[in-house]
Structure formats: C-alpha cells, structure tokens
Amino acid sequence: WQAHARERGGNLGSRASTRARTMRGVAVAPTRCATRARGDATRGMATRAGRATRRGRAMARTGDDEAANAKASASAGKKCAAIVAGCAMALAMASARVAVADSLPDEVDVKVLCDAACEKRLESQEFKTTKSGLRYKEIKEGDGMEPPVGFQVVVDYIAMDEKGRIFDNSLAKGKPNDIRVVDCVGSGDFDSCTVIPGMDEGLLTMKSGGVRRLYIPGELSFPKGLASAPGRPKVPPFSPVVFDVNLLYIPGFD
C-alpha cells in the first residue's frame, strides 16, 4: 500500500507540476500578446508618423516650388511691362519725328574758299607740280610779295581728305592762323615743318592776297594721321589730302 501510495503520489505530483507549467504558460501568453500588440501599435504609429512627415515635406517642397514659380511669373510680368512701355515710347518718338518732318531745320552753310563756280574753273586748269611731287592750282593770284623763310604769315585754310570731306576749317572757327614759313622740304628736315611738309612748301611760292589749292601726296602729308572726332573724318597716316589756302597778309610787309 505504501508503495502504491508513493507511486500514485508521484504521478499526482508530476501531473500537478505539468498543470502548473501549463497554467504558467497560459498566464504568460496574454502578457506576450500584450507586449507584441504594444510593439505593433508603436511600429504602426511610427510608420504613420513617418508617412505624415514625408507628406509634410512633399507639401513644403511643393509650396516652395509654387512660390518660386509665382516669383518668376511676377519677374517675367515686370519685364514684359517694361518692354511694352519701351515700345510705346519708341512709337511715340517716331510719331513725333514724323509730325515735325515738315519743319526740318535748315542745313548750315559750310564756308569755303572755292565755291561751285570756282570748282568748275579748276577742272579746266592745268596742275603745277614741284620736284617733291606737290601739285597745286591757283584759285586766285596774289598781288603781294612772297613770304620770306622764317617769317610769320596769316592764313585761312580748309583741309579735306582725298574724298573731299572737310576735317579742318579756319573759316568755320572765325579766326585765321599765324604760321611761320619754313623750307622743311628743301632742307629735308620734316621734323621742323610748321604744319605738314606739303603745306609749308606750298606757302613758299604764294603771294599775299592769293588763294591756292594744294594737292598734297601722302609722303608730304600727316605722318601719324589724325584720329576721327565729332564732325571730323579720320585721316590715316601718309594719306593724300587737299588744302585750300588763302595767304591773307605778311605781318611787317603788308
């Protein structure tokens, strides 16, 4: 009996232990489920929060893009408005010019030493040529004396390029020029010339009161040329020029 009781007690104890373990498992299972549920809930909330953050960032970028597009549109609108205003002003100015086209200002008369009748006479006149290659024609013969070398003379002159464009005119300035006569061509010392070699040589054989047209070749012209200026054409270095010269008088003699 005692052996049977011990065996039965052992079986009962084993069964009780098994039931205890089972009950502990049953008791732990809800806890694990609750923990897993909380983890799932936390992960779900994090996922939803991440999605909400990404949507917020996307909306922010969209807002920035829309703001940039609005700014660009406003800038383009301002540019278009400026262009339209400029076109309107140009049209207004063009209309104003057309409106006053019937009352254009009179052309300013250019003072010259040889007018149209003089030009016609010169066409039939023969050239006179010096040893240096200077050519000239007499517009008017002087009745005074020839200027001595080294003396001052008072002259008016009109300087033209080979196309006939005036680049210097003492008549327009309203004041004649005082020039010291030198024989720089005869001496070969071009650095001592008062104006240019061709003009200095041409003055030597003129008489006071006379008017002469000098056709000056490039080698007797401006060695450095003349730069263009308002109302004055450019004269390239060593380019042919034409001078109309009026020897008014020789101080101390006339």
Backbone phi and psi for residue 244, each to the nearest 5 degrees, phi listed first: -95, 120
Distances (CA, A) of 242 to 118, 151, 159, 181, 212: 15, 24, 6, 19, 10
Q: Note the pTM of the prediction, 2 decimals.
A: 0.59
Q: Is the pLDDT of residue 67 over 80?
A: no
Strand-strand pairing, 211-216 and 166-169: unpaired
Give the model confidence (pLDDT) of 168-218 as tens digits.
999 999 999 999 999 999 999 999 999 999 999 999 999 999 999 999 999
Is there a contact between 135 and 215 (Cβ–Cβ < 8 Å)? Answer: yes
Give the model confidence (pLDDT) of 29-60 as tens digits.
445 544 554 555 456 555 565 665 666 565 55
Q: Is the pLDDT of residue 221 over 70?
A: yes
The chain-wide mean pLDDT, for the chain, equals 77
Neighbours of 28 (CB within 10 A): 10
For residue 238, give the nearest of 254, 211, 253, 219 by alpha carbon: 219
Q: Angle at the Cα of 222 (from 120 to 166), degrees rounded to 5?
A: 40
Percentage of the chain beyond pLDDT 70 is: 57
Q: In the structure, what pLDDT confidence band is assigned to residue 27 with cuts at 50, 70 and 90?
A: very low
Q: Specify the pLDDT at position 254.
A: 75
Task: Read off the pLDDT of each residue in 101-111 and give the average, rounded to a whole number.
Answer: 55
Residues whose CB is less than 8 angstroms from the CB of residue 190 and which lie 6 or more positions away in sequence, other chains included = 184, 197, 223
Q: Is the pLDDT of residue 103 over 90?
A: no
Question: Which residues, listed in sequence order, are joined to residue 178 by a DSSP beta bridge?
Answer: 154
Q: Where are the alpha helices (DSSP H) in 124-234?
A: 170-173, 184-187, 197-204
Task: Read off the pLDDT of each residue in 113-124 and give the average, rounded to a whole number.
Answer: 96
Give the model confidence (pLDDT) of 131-164 as tens digits.
999 999 999 999 999 999 999 999 999 999 999 9
Greater confidence, 210 or 5?
A: 210
Q: In the structure, what pLDDT confidence band is assigned to residue 105 with cuts at 50, 70 and 90?
A: very low
Q: Specify the pLDDT at position 109.
A: 74
Task: Read off the pLDDT of each residue in 103-124 and give the average, rounded to a whole number.
Answer: 80
Q: Is the pLDDT of residue 99 over 70?
A: no
Is there a contact between 183 and 248 (Cβ–Cβ < 8 Å)? Answer: no
Residue pointed to by tokens 């060593």 = 238
Greater confidence, 39 or 220?
A: 220
Q: Specify the pLDDT at position 77.
A: 56
